[in-house]
Structure 1
Amino acid sequence: MKTVRLTLRYDAETIHPMHRFVADSDAFDAYRMVHGNFAGGNDNAFIFHVVGDPDVYEAALEGTDRVDEYELTRTGDRTFTVYVRDVPDGVDERLLTLFTRGSLVVLPPIEYRSDWTVRFSVVGESTDLRRALEGVPDGIETAVDRVGEYDGSDDAVGALTDRQRETLRVARDLGYFEVPRSAGVEDVAAELDCAPGTAAEHLRKAEAAVMGALEL
């Protein structure tokens, strides 16, 4: 099986109103779908994890006709989960069909970003993946960020490049993440045979990729 990491960029006509609202608001830091029931029709149900202002989000939910019903649960001062029954339009329904058809399995979380993009990974046979990519509706730009063999790793690990994974493994083995730290960036760089600045960049990008893929 193949795994593909995708970024979909929506335009003003195709973006979901709640994604657009969160993206354009200063009240939110993260917006991820962590579970979903992609049954089709009017039976789609999703759970989102959101970092931001729950009152602002709930007011927006009340104002949109794209949400059939919802239940918001506060988990902290600025964190909450939302169970949503969504009313799909033509674009959303087509995307759900494309990426859940045949052998395809979407790996959560699905990350909704402030630049009107959505990032996620999908696993399946090459022919089904190719068919899904070819069928993405007009108004959505598709970027394939990474293609590889599915090895059963979770999405946090799957978000890493081979070099980033090697860097984290070396840093862990040397004690870079221990408290107190028993190795520094220079030690990681020496083991990787690269400059300290390069090692530091690999670590920063790897940490950002893992944190972005975690369900927090």
Structure 2
Amino acid sequence: MLEDGTGLSEIRIDDTLVATQEAIEYANLLDDGTAVAIVQFRGDADQVATIADETPEIISCTVTGGEAWLAYLQYEPDEVERTLYELVDTEAISIDWPVRDTADGVQVTLFGEDAALQQMIASVPDKIDVRLERAGEYQPDTDDPAAQLTDRQKEIVRAAIVAGYYDIPRRATQQDLAAELGLSQGTIGEHLRRAEAKIIQFVIV
């Protein structure tokens, strides 16, 4: 099962801890009420790949290999998590990904107008303990691979992830993405190639 207020901090199968979360690279609430997330874990990737069979709230799970790896999850969020996603959308606030676990809890960087941020904080359910650490001019995290991408590239990559373009087997094509976003297939392909090249160069070089 998954444990934590967000449902994504630890993965246990048969009461055995098989992986721990290090960061949420991206998450989004879908129109059908489910959520998708790209999560960096450390642990047994092969075991986590079976989590959809073991845990009812997990609809699907695709993982990469390695000691520290990524999992693409579609799952049923709990009430608290769904409320937080809805608040972000309602108040026109953006999340600076990734979201990281710390010894003091989940650390989230938000950016938006002061009034919207204050309204969101005031609207957070009482069961969630929120502490504002600092406020000021937004400074992107230059250590984040996603910070290397343009806003357009991020939009297309996120759409590709949600549509299942990176799933194995692939559930969407560049043509599908082009139709969804109202762009040509060539434009979609070029944006994806440039985004992938930037991320790979940032991580590997």
Q: Same fold by TM (over 0.5)?
A: yes
Distance 1:125 1:135 in 2: 16
RMSD: 3.2
Residues 88-113 of structure 1: CA deviation (Å, up to 9, x unaligned):
22211101111232330001001134
Task: Give, as a single letter, the amino acid of the residue that structure 2 aligns with 1:83.
Answer: Y
Secondary structure of the structure 2 residue equivalent to 1:142:
coil
- Unaligned stretches of 5+ in structure 1? 1-11, 158-213
Q: Is 47-56 or 136-145 further displaced after alignment?
A: 47-56
Residues 143-180 of structure 1: CA deviation (Å, up to 9, x unaligned):
111211124x32659xxxxxxxxxxxxxxxxxxxxxxx
- Pairing 1:130–2:130 present: no
Distance 2:42 2:24 in 1: 12
Q: Which has more radius of gyration? A: 1
- Identity over aligned residues, as a percent? 20
Q: Is 31-40 or 89-98 further displaced after alignment?
A: 31-40
Secondary structure of the structure 2 residue equivalent to 1:71:
strand
What residue in structure 2 maps to residue 118 of structure 1? 106
- Pairing 1:31–2:22 present: yes
Task: Give, as a single letter, the amino acid of the residue that structure 2 aligns with 1:105.
Answer: S
Contact 1:61–1:67 (CA under 8 A) maintained in structure 2 = yes
Contact 2:93–2:116 (CA under 8 A) maintained in structure 1 = yes
- Pairing 1:15–2:2 present: no
- Pairing 1:69–2:60 present: yes
With over 3 angstroms needed to count, the CA separation of the structure-2 counterparts of 1:65 and 1:109, relative to structure 1, is same
Higher relative contact order (CA 8 A, sep 6+): 1
TM-score of the two chains, using structure 1 as the length reference: 0.54
2:132 to 131, 144, 153: 144
TM-score of the two chains, using structure 2 as the length reference: 0.57
- Unaligned stretches of 5+ in structure 2? 145-201
2:141 to 125, 144, 154: 154
Q: Give the 4+ runs in structure 1 shifted more than 6 A.
A: none
Aligned residues: 143
What residue in structure 2 maps to residue 168 of structure 1? none
Matches within 5 A, 1:36-47: 36-47=27-38
What residue in structure 2 maps to residue 53 of structure 1? 44
Task: Give, as a single letter, the amino acid of the residue that structure 2 aligns with 1:66.
Answer: E
Secondary structure of the structure 2 residue equivalent to 1:99:
helix
Q: 1 or 2, which has the higher strand percentage? A: 1
